[in-house]
Amino acid sequence: MPVNLRGRNFLKLLDYTPEEIRYLLDLAHEFKRMKMAGVPHRYLAGKNIVLLFEKTSTRTRCSFEVAGMDLGCGVTYLDPGSSQMGKKESIADTARVLGRIYDGIEYRGFDQSIVEDIAKYAGVPVWNGLTNQFHPTQMLADVMTIEEHFGYLKGINFTFVGDARNNVANSLMVVSAKMGINFTACGPKELWPEESLVEECKKIAAEHGCTIRMTDDVKEGTTGADVIYTDIWLSMGEPDEIWAKRIALLKDYQVNKELMANAKPEAIFLHCLPSFHDTKTTIGADIAKKFGVNEMEVSDEVFESKQSKVFDEAENRMHTIKAVIYATLC
């Protein structure tokens, strides 16, 4: 059956079938080819979109802005301090107002229920630009990058190392289950994903001939992997006071040369970014001073290595977000 996503929200990948995800990936590859060839694609001229950010961003904001502008849309960015939302106006009221003015709404913020509520009231497509639970646009870029590198997704052995119950890890488990990727979460038991989500993903994975597993053993979790992925140890919205605890829990799960040596020789390294791989950021420098840790979730050596495809991945955020905007607004 032909895929038609016009008018749909993009809130989490659990709502999308593998065929729909495939359609978005094909569209993203096509938009990338067009962009590279300098072929204009202002298919949505006359439409307007608004980007609502309650947390900071570089990639997601810029990708939505450039993707929207390439498609010919007008784009408004609202930062955490510059809208009435939450302080003087409820989520429901904000959504109903923005839905009258714009053709699509992107939201980055806290609980998943907020973006689900916006979608309930907006009357126009709503796109999740990251919540505490999920980061679905990131996943499209991640699997696009894997596909560009290996040429296929089914049967890829994928290991997420670190804080395996954060938004990125949750979403990676979902997209893996849907696209036939063998997913391993490798981290301390305290940071494994919620049991209910694991069970749901295991059921989906069984339908698509792949597996979902959890382990706290680095050797077991990373041996034979095609893709090693990690994310920061403390996500936006989590209190700074727990840095010490998190570092203690995760220090043995740093992606470094020794860990990468367990994976296949042709394995790649991915990270959603931003990353603490050195002390060239204020937080990185502060952590180094307080805890003596100069590199956190990934060593600088791996981050800068040939196996690292993190900047291809970052670029693909724009092409995949363009596919989502186009498919839902066209």
Interface residues with ligand NVA (CB under 6 A) are: 130, 166-168, 231-232, 235-236, 272
Q: Which of 73, 272, 277, 319 is catalytic?
A: 272
Q: Which of 59, 61, 108, 246 is catalytic?
A: 108
DSSP assignments along 82-97, one per residue: SS-BTTTB-HHHHHHH
**CB closer to ligand NVA, 231 vs 295:** 231
Is 22 an active-site residue?
no
Is 231 an active-site residue?
yes
Answer with the entry of ligand CP, ligand NVA, none that 180 interacts with (C-beta below 5 to 8 A by kind).
none
Question: Which three-class secondary structure state does DSSP give residue 107?
Answer: strand
Min CB(232)–ligand NVA separation in Å: 6
Answer with the entry of ligand NVA, ligand CP, none that 166 interacts with (C-beta below 5 to 8 A by kind).
ligand NVA
If one counts every other C-beta atom within 10 angstroms of the C-beta of residue 218, the result is 19
Q: Where are the alpha helices (DSSP H) in 38-135?
A: 59-70, 91-101, 112-122
Question: Nearest Cα to 10, choosing from 21, 1, 18?
Answer: 21
CB under 8 Å to 300, separation ≥6 — which residues? 277, 278
Cα separation, 13 vs 210, in Å, equals 17
Residue found under tokens 């126009």: 124
Is 41 an active-site residue?
no
Min CB(34)–ligand CP separation in Å: 23
If one counts every other C-beta atom within 10 angstroms of the C-beta of residue 176, the result is 28
Tokens coding 201: 């993903």
Answer with the entry of ligand NVA, ligand CP, none that 128 interacts with (C-beta below 5 to 8 A by kind).
none
**DSSP 8-class letter at 18:** H
Is 59 an active-site residue?
no
User: Closest CB to ligand NVA belongs to which residue?
Assistant: 235
Binding residues for ligand CP, rule: CB under 6 A, are 57-60, 130, 138, 272-274
Q: Which of 59, 231, 246, 277 is catalytic?
A: 231
Type of residue found at 40: P
Residue found under tokens 């450039």: 66
**CB closer to ligand CP, 198 vs 314:** 314
Answer with the entry of ligand NVA, ligand CP, none that 84 interacts with (C-beta below 5 to 8 A by kind).
none
Is 135 an active-site residue?
yes
Answer with the entry of ligand NVA, ligand CP, none that 145 interacts with (C-beta below 5 to 8 A by kind).
none
Min CB(238)–ligand NVA separation in Å: 8
Cα three-residue angle 47-48-52, rounded to 5 degrees: 150
Catalytic annotation, residues: 108, 135, 138, 231, 272, 317
